[in-house]
Amino acid sequence: MWGLSSVAAASGEDALSVIKHGERFDIAIVDMQMPAIGGAPLATEIRKAIDGAAMPLVGLITPGLREAPHPEVFATSVTKPIKASHLYDALIDALERTKRPAERVPQPVSSPAGGRLADRHPLRVLVAEDNGVNQKVALAMLRHFGYRADLASDGVEAVEAVRRVPYDVVFMDLQMPQLDGIGATKQIIAEQPPDRRPRIVALTANAFDEDREECLKAGMDDYVSKPLTTETLEAALLRAGRIA
């Protein structure tokens, strides 16, 4: 659903066979618990097979089992059962570590024709997102449109920020520590009168209809799927308006 091309291997031996036959990948997700060869030994063999190529490895952990990814071979890890948002964050974190320093800062882009969107459609914007890479991407894209957004790193900070500032729109990540996006949205709705409540836009790596329905039932006003694009972000901003 993210537009990625993937290959599945049913065992460690199959994975090594694919790599040794010359197929190249940008990232690998390795189950830590597999028959014949465990995740850590497999990761070591994969490192030998790719011969220094920049391919980060993500460890897939089964809860309750002791083996955990070794930091010398794994960039990060995800715990089963896999949630799309957790996998998404793990992938971008792992890929970020393989970039050169100059590539890590989002590159500036030219302003859209006809001036910046913020000049024509001013809004007070809050981004509630706990992942560092996602924060950089969202803030850089908003700057492209001329918006100087504030940042909250979890749901608790988002609720507190809305208490202080009359934001017009809040981009709310669904999976955050302490208080998730659904919980933060419900609290904001409970505290803010309708005429003072910001438009809340869900940010999620899930792209299924049931996830959209869950957001709307919680009181969210809109839904934007990750990875963000300038087109979807611009459309969400245009659907928002100023509150008093």
219 token code pair:
């009181």
Sign of CA dihedral 112, 116, 121, 127: positive
Q: Tell the burial category of 4 from Cβ atoms under 10 Å away from its Cβ (0-12, 13-18, 19+).
A: exposed
pTM assigned to the model: 0.79
C-alpha angle 51/36/83, rounded to 5°?
80
The answer to whether 177 touches 184, Cβ cutoff 8 Å, is: no
Domains of the chain with bracketed CATH:
12-103 (3.40.50.2300), 117-238 (3.40.50.2300)
- CA of 211: how far to CAs of 35, 166, 174, 220, in Å? 34, 27, 10, 12
The whole-angstrom separation of Cα 28 and Cα 8 is 10
Q: What is the pLDDT along the chain (244 residues), one digit of tens a residue?
A: 888 999 999 999 999 999 989 888 999 999 988 878 888 888 889 988 888 778 899 999 888 765 556 777 888 889 899 888 889 999 998 988 776 554 544 554 544 555 799 999 999 999 999 999 999 999 999 999 999 999 999 999 999 999 999 999 999 999 898 999 999 999 999 999 999 999 999 998 876 666 778 888 999 999 999 899 999 999 999 999 998 6
Amino acid (one-letter) located at 117: L
Alpha helices (runs of H) in 34-191, residue ranges in sequence order: 39-50, 84-97, 101-104, 117-120, 132-144, 155-164, 181-191
